[in-house]
Structure 1
Amino acid sequence: MTLHSYFVLAVFIFTIIGLIKFQERPSVVFGVALMTLFSTQMVTTDQVIKSLSNQGLLTLILLMLCSIALEKTRLLRLVAMKVIKPSYNSTWLRLFGFTVFSSAFLNNTAVVSTMLAPIRNNPNHSASKLLIPLSYAAILGGTLTLVGTSTNLIVNSLVLDANLPSLGFFDFTLVGLCLVGACGLTLYVCRSLLPDIDMKLTDAPSYFIEAKVNPDSSLVGKSIDQNGLRHLQSLFLVEIMRGELQLTAITPNEVIQANDKLIFSGDISKVNQLRLFDGLSIFAENSGLPLGNLREVVVRPESVLNGNTLKSVGFRSLFDAAVVAIKRDGEKVSGKIGKLKIKPGDFLVLAVGEDFKSRRNIRKNFILLSDVELDSRLSGKKELLAIFGFVVAIALAAIGIIPLFKAVLLLLGVLLLSGCLTSSELVRRFPTDIWVIISSAIVLSYALQNSGVIDIFTQLMSNNSGSFSPLLALIAVYAITLLLTELVTNNAAAALIFPIAYGLAVSIDANPTAFIMAVAFGASASFISPYGYQTNLMVFNAGQYKLNDFIKIGVPVSLVYSVTCIIAIVFVFGL
């Protein structure tokens, strides 16, 4: 081995060590590796540019950006309303089936994010009995298609970079179906191992938001549960003001009446969810101001508001603004916003008019904090365009009419031109970490090839090919990928092991496709650790689990997954 070979191998090893030690910052670890290899001329400028613009990587990024539009529709929320039922077994089966199917075609992180609120707020079952199955179902569903998980798209990007034919949309499906069936049955049989945790919701400071039910609203005459008001993301219905009657102990069967004031508590950036309900108007909108321009302020001690209500001081005419939400640290606010007596230090979110900035009394009464950016929602024709556009793009790619990259690029253009997505949303949600991780991993694979490490490894395997049967080598590749997935992350594991797996397959004259699939499925096999896969981490925090909770249910699922995976890969692809 040359000095260059030893250096690149050292970078490879230290990258793995860095990923284990700094699990929460994989993009930084990979970024340091990229800069080290580039600055020491272990890779060329052309190779770095080629890595950053890899077609498979760009396809993944485009798909994630297009899925933002789907998150802004009511589709997933409406389906979520149909999942939670009084029967635990019925709920479990519906949740598993819906999540598997959705995750096969949508970003599984978005699916899990949408389902978190309905599960945590459901009155029938302990959330801890459903959240781990939710994450596992999302992982299993992601293995069914090329677009089901970022891992499969990452592996495909590495396949393209190795000048191999692209993996097909349904190349994963047969093995994936075996895994869904075997692991789903295992998870259902072992559901008694799931903990029953009494959720202790933290009293994080939340904004207090008022919405009025108009007399012609379709919500009238239906219960809270039927209207889906308990299935909102980061917003919780805490009170109903019915005339002078204040309802605080709200049951799912409480029927909405005309002119009810619904009081929500939660994340102000999610307030646009309320606008998707027919005939539900937010307090500020009744003052004639739109929610497109919001400012967060704090009430000064010398403000004229102190000790007075918004109505008594004529807030709208005084400041050319209307209160959208109010927050009071250290104290719970209750009642109608317009009749609350304002105190010094109250946080207000204001919908402001054109004259707001020019009013001389603004800085005398408020400390200006910042603009508030809302998570926007789609409705009407834009909602239909986002849903059907996504379905058509994926369908055209699935049946081979146009390449997936072209389909999602055209879809993104349509979503931008139609206003379903904005440039600011793309900038804010751009998956920079994934871009850095994958492009850096491709650069690392170039360095391994340039320095001769892959050639040395291939020669070593060729000289000892009698000691390695294709089946044993396949199992070894899968096991190493699975271990790295649990220790670091799924994306990092796939990117690091791919060049080794492909080189090993070539050196022992085995079927490269089987080894590529072993990497793809092994990188998705994160069931034991809550840190190896993003959906696991999401439910780990939301369900207030302990590490042992994942180990108890994850070990049997992981064992069944591994055995089924190896058998299915050998049967479907051959060695």
Structure 2
Amino acid sequence: MLLEQAYVFSVIIAMLVGLVFNLARPAWLFSLAALALYFPGFVPAERFFSHAVNPAVLTLVLLLVCSIALERTRALAWVSKQLFSKSQFVTLTKMGGLVAASSAFLNNTAIVASLMGAVRNNSSQSAKRLLIPLSYFAILGGTLTLIGTSTNLVVNSFLVDYGKAGFNFFDFLPVGLAILLVCGIAVIIVSYWLPKDNIAETVTREYFLEAKIDSDSTLIGKSLYQAGLITITGLDLVEIVRKDQVIASVEHDLELAEGDQLIYCGDVKLAKQLASIKGLSVFAEDSGLLDKHLKEVIVSPMSTLIGRTLKQSSFRAHFDAAVVAIGRNGGRLSGALGEVEIRAGDKLVIATGRDFYKRPNIDRNFIFLDKVQLHPPLKISQEIITFSGFFLAIALAALGFVDLLTALITYLILIFATKVISATEVRRRLPLDIWLVIASALAIADVFNQVGVANLIANGVTGLFHIESSNDITGIYLSFISIYLLTWIITEMVTNNAAAALMFPIAFGLAESIGVNYMPYVMAVAYGASASFISPYGYQTNLMVMNAGGYSFKDFAKVGWLVSLCFTIVALLMIPIVFPFS
């Protein structure tokens, strides 16, 4: 192995470790890795940075921007009204059809965000048995078309960057339909394995509240038992933060000191009761908003809060709201609430001020668990333009009359001209993180190929499976399976887009090295990166419903293994049939 190859390997491994252990946002990790490979000068600067304006990358960004207009229509509200029935089987069957069909054309994160509140608050069925299926059906629907999921578009970006023809709009449909049919049945079966609890009764125990001992408090010097702070009904004292020290083992005779921060777990409705104790201040009380209406929200995957603490983000100033409590996956949070680093999917209870809904960045940062109208409804004429314009653009691109990028640019001009969305709204919702991940990944892949790392891995795989020619069907099929499984494993550990970006260069290089059609390997990456059912962390929609429904990792593992197994079997059987190796 040459020195430059060893260097590239070390950078990629470091990036993968950062992704697995969530050391920073994927966009930052990919960008840092790309810059680390740029400075040695493996490829010319002009070529290195040209990946950011790859037509397929711009198509993905434009598609996500255009989806903002579709989210503003009444389409998803109509879908939510059609979902529920007295029968769980009928409800799930309708959900499977409507959600999957919507997800084939719309952003699946937006679909789940729009329908999650209606599912959670429905009175017909247990929401606990519907929220995970909602996410699963959105994932399955995304595998039907080129634009159904960002993963497909990421893989398409790589294809175009490698000088190959991109996917046709319905290239994914034959395999995707087979997967949807088989896995849809599996989703309905496993939904009966989920608990039938009332969500309203379970989520109240997930939140962490903070109360602080005031400087002039009469509680100073008293023990926890004497102060009556360890036996509050509905609240459990889990730890105390004293200066820089965390006291995790809380004893009854522990004496209270000035500035002690008491971290409670329990019913968030009791925050007012805590605040009524003389000498004790609840985290949100200083804002003067604790008497205001409490709202339960989930931190959006696009939020600017991710990776920052409440103090760093100046939460009160930005949103005219104060955080009363934080919940995360039913797990334990440690330390003062103001110092907790916010993650995508975190559940917050916020006390909102008068101007909260007027702030321009609300819909980017939060997903509401009850129905909130953040924008005025579109006029009928605007809705017609939004739908007809979008589907006309997609139809023209699918039939080959115009490329998708040109069609989307034209559509964007149309919705700007008719004031469906504004330039300010686009600027706020611009998917910069995805753009950075893909552009950086393409640059990394370029270096990957330039220094011969892709060939090195391909030669290792061909040697492992003893592939001596393009006629060695057994070895080729095993290498194809290995690409799919490795992509799936990375997806469950990291994220779908990151997995696709990491695995494409290896898959494409392997196919080229063996001398077979690259499409089965490329499709193995696309479908493997969408097969996130066991872990809630590999796909944004899973993380969203995990917190909304009060699920644990165990709940996903209990139902996800069967769906994942069905998905894998169908994908590995169907891909080589639809896209032969020769």
Q: What residue is the counterpart of 2:561 in the other structure? A: 555
Contact 2:34 2:444 in 1 (8 A): yes
CA–CA distance in 2 between the matches of 1:574 and 1:34?
A: 34
CA–CA distance in 2 between the matches of 1:295 and 1:101?
A: 35
Seen in structure 2, the aligned counterparts of structure 1 residues 461 and 199 have a Cα distance that, compared at 3 Å, is: closer
Contact 1:27 1:433 in 2 (8 A): yes
CA–CA distance in 2 between the matches of 1:329 and 1:526?
A: 31
For 1:61-72, list aligned pairs within 5 A: 61-72=61-72
CA–CA distance in 2 between the matches of 1:530 and 1:56?
A: 28
Q: What residue is the counterpart of 1:502 in the other structure? A: 508
For 1:534-573, list aligned pairs within 5 A: 534-573=540-579
Contact 1:296 1:371 in 2 (8 A): no
CA–CA distance in 2 between the matches of 1:64 and 1:202?
A: 34
TM-aligned CA deviation for residue 376 of structure 1: 2.3
Contact 2:54 2:161 in 1 (8 A): yes
Question: Residue 490 in 1 paired to residue 496 in 2?
Answer: yes
Query: Please, which of 521, 525, 529 is the counterpart of residue 523 of structure 1?
Result: 529
Contact 1:99 1:134 in 2 (8 A): yes
Query: For the pair shown, which has the larger CA radius of gyration, 1 or 2?
Result: 1
Contact 2:534 2:557 in 1 (8 A): yes
Q: What residue is the counterpart of 2:427 in the other structure? A: 427
Give deviations 1:449-498, integer Å, cap 9, x for gaps: 12121233345556652387110010000000000000010000001100
Contact 1:71 1:110 in 2 (8 A): yes
Seen in structure 2, the aligned counterparts of structure 1 residues 429 and 189 have a Cα distance that, compared at 3 Å, is: same
Question: Residue 465 in 1 paired to residue 458 in 2?
Answer: no
Q: What residue is the counterpart of 1:134 in the other structure? A: 134
Seen in structure 2, the aligned counterparts of structure 1 residues 117 and 371 have a Cα distance that, compared at 3 Å, is: closer
Letter in 1 for 2:57: L
Give deviations 1:386-445, integer Å, cap 9, x for gaps: 122112112222222211111111111111122111111111111111011111111110
For 1:282-293, list aligned pairs within 5 A: none
Q: Secondary structure at the match of 2:33?
A: helix
Q: What residue is the counterpart of 2:125 in the other structure? A: 125
Seen in structure 2, the aligned counterparts of structure 1 residues 447 and 295 have a Cα distance that, compared at 3 Å, is: closer
Question: Residue 14 in 1 paired to residue 20 in 2?
Answer: no
CA–CA distance in 2 between the matches of 1:472 and 1:372?
A: 48
CA–CA distance in 2 between the matches of 1:479 and 1:439?
A: 25
Seen in structure 2, the aligned counterparts of structure 1 residues 350 and 167 have a Cα distance that, compared at 3 Å, is: closer
For 1:262-301, list aligned pairs within 5 A: 266=295
TM-aligned CA deviation for residue 266 of structure 1: 4.6
Q: Secondary structure at the match of 1:511?
A: coil
Letter in 2 for 1:417: A
Q: Secondary structure at the match of 2:104?
A: helix
TM-aligned CA deviation for residue 349 of structure 1: 3.5
Question: Residue 379 in 1 paired to residue 378 in 2?
Answer: yes
Identity %: 40
Letter in 2 for 1:524: S
Q: What residue is the counterpart of 1:53 in the other structure? A: 53
Question: Residue 474 in 1 paired to residue 474 in 2?
Answer: no
Q: What residue is the counterpart of 1:325 in the other structure? A: none
Q: Secondary structure at the match of 1:105?
A: coil
TM-aligned CA deviation for residue 49 of structure 1: 2.1
Greater displacement, 153-162 / 106-115: 106-115
Q: What residue is the counterpart of 1:167 in the other structure? A: 167
CA–CA distance in 1 between the matches of 2:321 and 2:543?
A: 34
Q: What residue is the counterpart of 1:513 in the other structure? A: 519
CA–CA distance in 2 between the matches of 1:499 and 1:109?
A: 27
Letter in 1 for 2:522: I
CA–CA distance in 2 between the matches of 1:351 and 1:433?
A: 25
For 1:345-494, list aligned pairs within 5 A: 347-349=353-355, 375-380=374-379, 381-460=381-460, 464-466=466-468, 469-494=475-500
Letter in 2 for 1:410: T
Contact 2:49 2:443 in 1 (8 A): no
Q: Give the gaps of 5 or more residues in structure 2.
A: 208-292, 298-317, 323-348, 364-373
Letter in 2 for 1:522: G
Q: What residue is the counterpart of 2:232 in the other structure? A: none
Contact 1:528 1:554 in 2 (8 A): yes
RMSD of Structure 2 on Structure 1 (CA): 2.9
Letter in 2 for 1:515: Y
Q: What residue is the counterpart of 1:37 in the other structure? A: 37
TM-aligned CA deviation for residue 382 of structure 1: 1.6
TM-aligned CA deviation for residue 296 of structure 1: 5.8
CA–CA distance in 2 between the matches of 1:144 and 1:574?
A: 19
Letter in 2 for 1:376: H
Question: Residue 153 in 1 paired to residue 153 in 2?
Answer: yes
For 1:69-148, list aligned pairs within 5 A: 69-148=69-148
CA–CA distance in 2 between the matches of 1:44 and 1:513?
A: 29
Letter in 2 for 1:520: A
Q: What residue is the counterpart of 1:209 in the other structure? A: none
TM-aligned CA deviation for residue 552 of structure 1: 0.6
Question: Residue 25 in 1 paired to residue 13 in 2?
Answer: no
CA–CA distance in 1 between the matches of 2:350 and 2:454?
A: 59
CA–CA distance in 2 between the matches of 1:504 and 1:329?
A: 51
TM-aligned CA deviation for residue 9 of structure 1: 1.3
Greater displacement, 74-83 / 482-491: 74-83
Seen in structure 2, the aligned counterparts of structure 1 residues 177 and 373 have a Cα distance that, compared at 3 Å, is: closer
Q: Give the gaps of 5 or more residues in structure 1.
A: 205-263, 269-293, 299-327, 331-345, 353-369
Letter in 2 for 1:11: V
Give deviations 1:17-60, integer Å, cap 9, x for gaps: 11101176211211110121122323321223211111111111
Seen in structure 2, the aligned counterparts of structure 1 residues 77 and 12 have a Cα distance that, compared at 3 Å, is: same
Contact 1:43 1:443 in 2 (8 A): no
TM-aligned CA deviation for residue 347 of structure 1: 3.9
Seen in structure 2, the aligned counterparts of structure 1 residues 414 and 477 have a Cα distance that, compared at 3 Å, is: same
Q: Secondary structure at the match of 2:192?
A: helix
Letter in 1 for 2:16: I
CA–CA distance in 1 between the matches of 2:165 and 2:532?
A: 28
Q: What residue is the counterpart of 1:316 in the other structure? A: none
Give deviations 1:185-221, integer Å, cap 9, x for gaps: 11222222122232135599xxxxxxxxxxxxxxxxx
Give deviations 1:361-405, integer Å, cap 9, x for gaps: xxxxxxxxx788784244222222112211211222222221111
Q: What residue is the counterpart of 2:285 in the other structure? A: none
Seen in structure 2, the aligned counterparts of structure 1 residues 460 and 171 have a Cα distance that, compared at 3 Å, is: same
Q: What residue is the counterpart of 2:186 in the other structure? A: 186
Give deviations 1:504-532, integer Å, cap 9, x for gaps: 11111222111010000000000000000
Q: Secondary structure at the match of 1:427?
A: helix
Give deviations 1:131-163, integer Å, cap 9, x for gaps: 111111011100000000000000000000110
TM-aligned CA deviation for residue 574 of structure 1: 1.4
Seen in structure 2, the aligned counterparts of structure 1 residues 350 and 562 have a Cα distance that, compared at 3 Å, is: closer
Letter in 2 for 1:571: I
TM-aligned CA deviation for residue 85 of structure 1: 2.1
Contact 1:154 1:494 in 2 (8 A): yes
Give deviations 1:517-564, integer Å, cap 9, x for gaps: 000000000000000001111111111100000001000111111011
Seen in structure 2, the aligned counterparts of structure 1 residues 418 and 444 have a Cα distance that, compared at 3 Å, is: same
Q: Secondary structure at the match of 2:354?
A: strand
Q: Secondary structure at the match of 1:442?
A: helix
Q: Secondary structure at the match of 2:507?
A: helix
Letter in 1 for 2:382: K
Greater displacement, 16-25 / 85-94: 16-25
Contact 1:73 1:377 in 2 (8 A): no
CA–CA distance in 1 between the matches of 2:96 and 2:459?
A: 46
CA–CA distance in 2 between the matches of 1:379 and 1:114?
A: 16
